[in-house]
């Protein structure tokens, strides 16, 4: 199986604080570190660590961050033949503040903005021969739309709509697996998700939009999804969260790897939840993502 992730690669600059500063205020933080990130790269790492042969298609700058990201991806088992170095532009950077286990992120897209429709057109054959294609919204929206056009009806499409942006109805109808969290799904459903019943209503709205398998992730409350027959709620695992930075990416990458490996929707969601719950107990983005061997109860 061959999963192609078309998306972002960033360097995360992470600092932990006891509280979030007010406007104009300077406070002390602690535990600063650099971590390879970006939703595309994170999901590619999660997929690869779950045993799927995974390629990342995207761009980094010709700088120290870009070189570090490429080296890390190879180390983590992600294939880099489709990852292009763009001269004259910086690699994407995310400034992340972690407070109380939750994060706030400011993103400069850098080279990710150069992942254009023409760029993915150059990989048409690879995309259309893949076992699955994964997308997020940290690359230009027109590129997401063009990829959906290329893959629709030929390759299962996994779309994690983060950061949330309005999406064309025709594009949504071409998506097989759609994984917003409870905040993001409001943009696509007009449903304010406060509890499981709200999430069920949101899933039904997404299903009516033509999405085959909509899922709404609810953090510690679990996930609500359509498994092809029913709308199901699975409760979350209780863990002590340290850093939630890559939780959604771990869920998305694991889900795609398990579906592509032939697991049922219910089995794939179980494994994705389990992997995500492990990731939040560790610092960083890609470094926090577990391997398949760390999910012994579900193997």
- The answer to whether 7 touches 56, Cβ cutoff 8 Å, is yes
230 is catalytic: no
Q: Which two tokens stand for residue 216?
A: 């709404």
Taking Cα atoms as reference points, which of 273, 256, 231, 270 lies closest to residue 177?
256
Residue 227 phi/psi, 5° resolution?
-95, 15
For the annotated binding site, the residues are 10-12, 38-42, 138, 181, 217-222, 243, 245, 248-249, 279, 282, 284, 288
Q: Which of 249, 266, 270, 287 is catalytic?
A: 249
What stretches of the chain show up as alpha helix (H) in DSSP?
Answer: 39-49, 64-75, 117-121, 124-128, 141-151, 169-172, 185-189, 196-208, 247-260, 265-279
For the annotated binding site for ATP, the residues are 181, 217-222, 248-249
- The answer to whether 217 touches 251, Cβ cutoff 8 Å, is yes
- The answer to whether 70 touches 58, Cβ cutoff 8 Å, is no
Strands 132-135, 223-226: pairing is unpaired
The SS3 call for residue 297 is coil
Q: Which two tokens stand for residue 246?
A: 């890559």
Q: Which two tokens stand for residue 66?
A: 């870009």
Alpha-carbon distance of 180 to 160, in angstroms, equals 6
Alpha-carbon distance of 3 to 84, in angstroms, equals 18
What stretches of 50-139 show up as alpha helix (H) in DSSP?
Answer: 64-75, 117-121, 124-128
User: Tokens 């992942």 belong to which residue?
Assistant: 115
For the annotated binding site for K(+), the residues are 243, 245, 279, 282, 284, 288
Burial 1-11 (b: 16+ CB within 10 A, else e): bbbbbbbbbbb
Residues noted as catalytic: 249
């Amino acid at each position: 199986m061959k999963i192609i992730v078309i998306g972002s690669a960033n360097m995360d600059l992470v600092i932990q604080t006891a509280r979030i500063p007010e406007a104009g205020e300077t406070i002390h933080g602690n535990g600063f570190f650099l971590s390879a990130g970006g939703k595309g790269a994170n999901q590619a790492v999660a997929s690869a660590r779950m045993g799927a042969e995974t390629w990342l298609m995207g761009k980094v700058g010709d700088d120290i961050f870009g070189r570090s990201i490429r080296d890390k991806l190879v180390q983590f088992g992600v294939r880099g033949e489709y990852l292009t170095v763009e001269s004259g532009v910086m690699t994407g950077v995310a400034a992340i503040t972690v407070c109380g286990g939750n994060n706030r992120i400011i993103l400069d897209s850098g080279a990710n903005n150069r992942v254009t429709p023409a760029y993915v057109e150059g990989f048409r054959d690879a995309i259309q021969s893949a076992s699955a294609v994964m997308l997020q919204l940290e690359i230009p929206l027109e590129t997401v739309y063009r990829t959906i056009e290329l893959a629709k009806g030929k390759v299962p499409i996994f779309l994690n709509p983060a950061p949330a942006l309005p999406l064309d109805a025709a594009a949504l109808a071409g998506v097989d697996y759609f994984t917003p969290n409870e905040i993001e799904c409001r943009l696509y459903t007009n449903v304010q998700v406060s509890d499981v019943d709200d999430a069920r209503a949101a899933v039904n709205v997404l299903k009516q939009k033509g999405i085959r398998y909509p899922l709404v992730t609810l953090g510690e409350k679990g996930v609500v999804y359509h498994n092809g027959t029913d709308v199901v709620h699975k409760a979350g695992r209780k863990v002590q969260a340290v850093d939630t930075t890559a939780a959604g990416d771990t869920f998305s990458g694991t889900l795609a790897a398990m579906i592509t490996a032939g697991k049922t929707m219910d089995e794939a969601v179980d494994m994705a939840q389990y992997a995500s719950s492990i990731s939040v107990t560790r610092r960083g983005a890609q470094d926090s993502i577990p391997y398949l061997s760390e999910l012994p109860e579900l193997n």
